[in-house]
Amino acid sequence: MFESLGEKLQGIFKNLKRKGKLKEQDVDSVLREVRLALLEADVNLKVVKDFTKQVKEKAVGQEIWNSLTPAQLIIKIVKDQLTELMGSANSKLTFAPQPPTILMLIGLQGSGKTTTVAKLSNYLKKQGRNPLMVAADVYRPAAIHQLQVLGEQLKIPVFSMGDKQDPVNVCSGAVKKAVGLGCDVIIIDSAGRLHIDEDLMEELKNIKLKVRPHEILLVVDSMIGQESVNVAKTFEDQVGIDGVILTKMDGDARGGAALSVKAVTGKPIKFVGIGEKTDALEPFYPERIASRILGMGDVLSLIEKAEAAFDVEKVEELEKKIKSQSFNLEDFLVHLQQVKNMGPLDQLVGMIPGISNIVGSSDIKVDEKQFKRIEAMIYSMTPEERRTPEIIRSSRKMRIARGSGNSVSDVNKLLKQFKEVRKMLKHVSQIEKVVKKKGKSKFKLFN
Amino acid sequence: MFKFFKGDNWFTKIKDGLLKTRENLTARVKSLFSMRKKIDEELWEELEEVLICSDMGVHTSNMIIEDLKKKARELKIKEPEQLVEHLKERIKECFSNRELGLFTAENKPTIYLMVGVNGSGKTTTIGKLARRLKNSGNKVIIAAGDTFRAAAIEQLDVWAQRVGVEIIKNKQGSDPASVCFDAIQASKARGADYLIIDTAGRLQTKYNLMNELKKIGKIISREVSDAPHETLLVLDATTGQNSLSQAKLFNDTVSLTGIVLTKLDGTAKGGMIVAIENELGVPVKLVGVGETMEDLQDFDPQAFTDALFSA
């Protein structure tokens, strides 16, 4: 029931695999399924209709290249079109030539504004800016306190005038204060509101008139349904927005809202919220989300994360070891720690292409505690044992088990796993050699 | 026709609240059926679109349409307009038969556990529910089981003061299961009629957080054998097809007894209620149709469908 859009599309395209030519009726039958798949992903109906029409125009009469099967060709067209619809480049924040730059976050209740204000401030702080968070949600109980707690955690100042003041005054007060505090970016946390609430929409207009934010960002819950279009359109028409932040993308929502919102407002999605922690905010890359929707996995994101977290020297050393086949438990430990640095494991696993085919997207469960146990066992070994695991026999096993608070069978399991990993790595390095000999590798979606 | 409603107030509210749904469903269904001269593939396709646009989902929409097609064949219906009544009946069938309102245990305290994803409106719903129970003469205690989110405890505290009920809480970052334990002991000791437990918002795919929830459920049923008496998934009415995933995975973890549909006023498409009841059989028990305390109401499927189709 909950298969992803990508799984769905792959299922459809499997049926096309053996057909040699791309005909109009093939395209039609595929597009009927694409349409349903997109609708199930909560893409708005009107957007879906435009989308399938565009794909059809491009697909029918398209010459089939020798290098691509018809199925690959359609995937390519669908993906390109998705990417185009969501904006073809990564859209950055614009900063005022004369600081402070004023950003305001708006949106429905519960879309994640306050958390996102903290994440965005943290993100900008890491880039060397001095943000000031402004508590302009005077309605929700403890909203101000929430921002203050987050501010304390992140060591970022919070401006508040309590919950008795008009939000317009709070915002203009913050602007006056910012310069004195040495802050160059002001981020306003506005109260959540329904887009049909005229009084509260009026309030946003008044804040806008008073402080003239350089960017107004609409915060949208990635789980939102068909209503996304009305929400985005109303906020755009009434207040005017400059961009969108998509939240809660770490769940299993298929992200159809990304497509819809972009299509109706024409405004770029600038950031994506991907977790509960204050650093779980990423720039939005249309191409990656498009391939994620298509189930190709977010390969690029994975690579980038890996690059940032992996210590290049250690990795090179590891590679050398793998090739010389002297990979031991010490290296295994280094490897584990590198992987851990990359972030929550279930997030990483979810990004691996094709993984959702194997386990089903909602079944990806990684027990991080297991990692700690493995670490404990390796730490309980002598350096000699780590370098030559073969010498670990029964009495050593018992000592390691006791020392790490595990059972002997756990130690056995670890040793067995390690052997398998080593075997696998050997295999990989052999493949690599072959590939290098041939000069280039061909990437194939289907074989 | 609306004898299930206790007052005009509630009816007007849900009717206003459903205005959008109604515009999307009633008006569109009506124009669809009256504009068309005959029943053909095109009509079915357009009906499918109308249903999908109300967030009913592809699966449930198709199911309803297939049944409607069968009906049309069996009864030899030729006029599209005659289909309206059958469609209404078919949608009603999606809702399971159930008692209205929430279950109250024979022995005090009756325990309600509120779960849901981040930002669905758990804390606000608890405030409204506590007010409602207190106003009908009950002693109510609420437990601040969201120990994760910054200021979640303070937020519930504000509600406790507004409503005038006792709150059991611990520090941010403390073990939520132990807060539940304390709250149950306190409820027993003080003879509370109801205990409502707040939990941290969590996405249904987060394995560790769902395990934490399981543990909370275990503690509750260990302390009071038939509790929690209601485990309610708080669901934002603007949610699309992900609501099915939420209902399914939360149900797998803590066996839901019902759903509270929040923010139904104005933004609601409402169709996902039909999908959830149809595909998972989890009943919607309460709906939030506005900002004030009184806007949390029992959900009545009969009245809901009638309101959906009333002109």
Residues 6+ apart with CB under 8 A from A80: none
User: Using one digit for the tens of pLDDT, what is the confidence trace for B144-186?
Assistant: 999 998 899 999 999 999 999 999 999 888 999 999 999 999 9
Other beta carbons within 10 angstroms of residue B226's beta carbon come to 12
CA distance B241 to A417: 39
CA distance A147 to A188: 11
Average of pLDDT values for A186-199?
Answer: 90
Q: Given an 8 Å threshold on Cβ–Cβ distance, is B207 in contact with A149?
A: no
Which residues does chain B have within 8 Å of residue A45's beta carbon, measured at their own beta carbons? 49, 52-53
Which residues does chain A have within 8 Å of residue B242's beta carbon, measured at their own beta carbons? 42, 223, 251-254
User: Is residue A364 over pLDDT 70?
Assistant: no
Please report which helix (H) or strand (E) contains residue B56, including its range: none
Give B87→chain A minimum CA distance, Å: 21
Other beta carbons within 10 angstroms of residue B139's beta carbon come to 17
Query: What are A319's two structure tokens?
Result: 């590679």
CA distance A215 to B16: 34
Judge whether B148 is closer than 8 Å to chain A, CB to CB. yes
Tell me the helix, strand and coil percentages in chain B, rounded to 5.
55, 15, 35
Q: Given an 8 Å threshold on Cβ–Cβ distance, is B248 in contact with A141?
A: no
pLDDT on residue A19? 52
Give B255→chain A minimum CA distance, Å: 18
Q: Given an 8 Å threshold on Cβ–Cβ distance, is A141 in contact with B155?
A: yes
Return the higher-pLDDT residue of B146 and B29.
B146
Average of pLDDT values for A86-114?
Answer: 87
Chain A from 326 to 355: CB within 8 A of any B CB: 346
Residues 6+ apart with CB under 8 A from B130: B140, B142, B159, B160, B163, B165, B194, B196
Query: Do A226 and A45 touch, CB atoms closer than 8 A?
Result: yes
Q: Given an 8 Å threshold on Cβ–Cβ distance, is A143 in contact with B151?
A: yes
Report which residue type is found at B43. Answer: L
- Give Rg (Cα) of chain A: 26
User: Is residue A304 over pLDDT 70?
Assistant: no
Query: Do A43 and A260 touch, CB atoms closer than 8 A?
Result: yes
Chain B from 198 to 227: CB within 8 A of any A CB: 203-208
Query: What are A3's two structure tokens?
Result: 């298969």
> Testing the interface with B: which of A50, A52, A223, A233 to mutate, by most B Cβ within 10 A?
A223
User: Using one digit for the tens of pLDDT, what is the confidence trace for A15-29?
Assistant: 655 556 667 877 887
Give A140→chain B minimum CA distance, Å: 8
Helix axes B83-94, B301-309, angle to 10 degrees: 150
Which residues does chain B have within 8 Å of residue A226's beta carbon, measured at their own beta carbons? 52-55, 240, 269
Cα A312 to the center of its chain, rounded Å = 23
pLDDT grade for A111, boundaries at 50, 70 and 90: very high
Report which residue type is found at B132. Answer: R
Which residues does chain B have within 8 Å of residue A227's beta carbon, measured at their own beta carbons? 55, 238, 240, 267-269
Give A368→chain B minimum CA distance, Å: 9
Return the higher-pLDDT residue of A190 and A414.
A190
Query: Do A391 and A385 touch, CB atoms closer than 8 A?
Result: yes
pLDDT on residue A440? 41
Q: Residues of chain A with pLDDT > 70: what percent?
A: 71
User: Is residue A131 over pLDDT 90?
Assistant: yes
Query: Do A13 and A70 touch, CB atoms closer than 8 A?
Result: no
Give B121→chain A minimum CA distance, Å: 7
Instruction: Give the closest residue to A39 by CA, choosing from B61, B31, B203, B26.
Output: B61
CA atoms within 13 A on the CB side of B85: 5
Query: Which residue has 């670890």 as its token pair?
Result: A414
Return the higher-pLDDT residue of A435 and B147.
B147
Return the higher-pLDDT residue of A253 and B183.
B183
The chain-wide mean pLDDT, for chain B, equals 85
Average of pLDDT values for A287-292?
Answer: 69
CA distance B48 to B26: 14
Judge whether A141 is closer than 8 Å to chain B, CB to CB. yes
Of B120, B148, B241, Cβ closest to residue A42? B241
> Testing the interface with A: which of B22, B128, B233, B242 to mutate, by most A Cβ within 10 A?
B242
Of B204, B242, B269, Cβ closest to residue A227? B269
Which residues does chain B have within 8 Å of residue A194's beta carbon, measured at their own beta carbons? 263, 265-267
User: Using one digit for the tens of pLDDT, what is the confidence trace for A198-238?
Assistant: 889 999 999 999 999 999 999 999 999 888 888 999 999 99
Average of pLDDT values for A278-298?
Answer: 73
Of B121, B151, B266, Cβ closest to residue A149? B151
User: Is residue A298 over pLDDT 50?
Assistant: no
User: Is residue A347 over pLDDT 60?
Assistant: no
Query: What are B15's two structure tokens?
Result: 């009717």
pLDDT on residue B1? 26
Q: Given an 8 Å threshold on Cβ–Cβ distance, is A2 in contact with B238?
A: no
pLDDT on residue A360? 46
CA atoms within 13 A on the CB side of B48: 19
Looking at chain B, which residue has its C-alpha nearest residue A231? B267
Other beta carbons within 10 angstroms of residue A440's beta carbon come to 7
User: Is residue A338 over pLDDT 50?
Assistant: yes
Which residues does chain B have within 8 Å of residue A146's beta carbon, measured at their own beta carbons? 149-152, 154-155
Q: Given an 8 Å threshold on Cβ–Cβ distance, is A252 in contact with B242?
A: yes
Judge whether B16 is closer than 8 Å to chain A, CB to CB. no
Chain B from 47 to 106: CB within 8 A of any A CB: 49, 52-55, 57-59
Q: Given an 8 Å threshold on Cβ–Cβ distance, is B241 in contact with A225?
A: yes
Looking at chain A, which residue has its C-alpha nearest residue B49? A45
> Which SS3 state, helix, strand or coil, does residue B267 take?
coil
Q: State the Cα angle at A170 between A108 and A211, rounded to 5°.
A: 80
Judge whether A142 is closer than 8 Å to chain B, CB to CB. yes
> Which SS3 state, helix, strand or coil, does residue B259 take?
strand
Give B2→chain A minimum CA distance, Å: 27
> Which SS3 state, helix, strand or coil, does residue B242 take?
helix
Which residues does chain B have within 8 Å of residue A348's beta carbon, measured at their own beta carbons? none
Poorest-confidence range of A210-224, A280-294, B63-77?
A280-294
CA distance B137 to B190: 15
CA distance B52 to A256: 14
**A-B interface: how many C-beta pairs under 8 angstroms?**
154
The chain-wide mean pLDDT, for chain A, equals 79
Judge whether A163 is closer than 8 Å to chain B, CB to CB. no
Q: Given an 8 Å threshold on Cβ–Cβ distance, is A346 in contact with B207?
A: yes
pLDDT on residue A210? 94
Query: What are B221's two structure tokens?
Result: 């049923």
Query: Which residue has 């249309």 as its token pair?
Result: A286
> Testing the interface with B: which of A3, A227, A248 to mutate, by most B Cβ within 10 A?
A227
SS3 sequence, B176-236?
Answer: HHHHHHHHHHHHHHHCCCEEEEEECCCCCCCHHHHHHHHHHHHHHHHHCCCCCCEEEEEEE
Query: What are A14's two structure tokens?
Result: 């499997």
Q: Given an 8 Å threshold on Cβ–Cβ distance, is B239 in contact with A223?
A: yes
CA distance B216 to B113: 9
Fold of A3-85: Four Helix Bundle (Hemerythrin (Met), subunit A) (1.20.120)
pLDDT grade for A390, boundaries at 50, 70 and 90: confident
pLDDT on residue B113? 97
Query: Using CA atoms in the order B31, B34, B40, B44, what is the torsion angle rounded to 10 degrees?
Result: 30
Instruction: Give the closest residue to A328 by CA, choosing from A388, A377, A393, A411.
Output: A388
The ipTM value here is 0.84
Give A417→chain B minimum CA distance, Å: 23
Which residues does chain B have within 8 Å of residue A197's beta carbon, measured at their own beta carbons? 266
Chain A from 166 to 195: CB within 8 A of any B CB: 194-195
CA distance B188 to B190: 6
pLDDT on residue A362? 44
pLDDT grade for A138, boundaries at 50, 70 and 90: very high
Burial, A445: exposed, middle or buried (Cβ in 10 Å; 0-12, 13-18, 19+)?
Answer: middle
Judge whether B244 is closer than 8 Å to chain A, CB to CB. yes
Residues of chain A with CATH 1.10.260.30: 303-441
Q: Given an 8 Å threshold on Cβ–Cβ distance, is A254 in contact with B205?
A: no
Q: Which residues pair with B143 in a beta bridge?
A: B168, B197
Q: What CATH number labels A101-294?
A: 3.40.50.300
Residues of chain A with CATH 1.20.120.140: 3-85
User: Is residue A391 over pLDDT 70?
Assistant: yes
Which residues does chain A have within 8 Å of residue B245's beta carbon, measured at their own beta carbons? 2, 252, 362
Q: Given an 8 Å threshold on Cβ–Cβ distance, is B238 in contact with A227?
A: yes
Average of pLDDT values for B109-129?
Answer: 94
pLDDT on residue A227? 86
Q: Given an 8 Å threshold on Cβ–Cβ distance, is A225 in contact with B239?
A: yes
Return the higher-pLDDT residue of A73 and A205.
A205
Residues of chain A with CATH 3.40.50.300: 101-294
Other beta carbons within 10 angstroms of residue A282's beta carbon come to 18
Q: Which residues pair with A106 in a beta bridge?
A: A218
- CATH 1.10.260.30 assigned to A303-441: yes
CA distance A16 to A71: 6
Which residues does chain A have within 8 Å of residue B59's beta carbon, measured at their own beta carbons? 1, 40
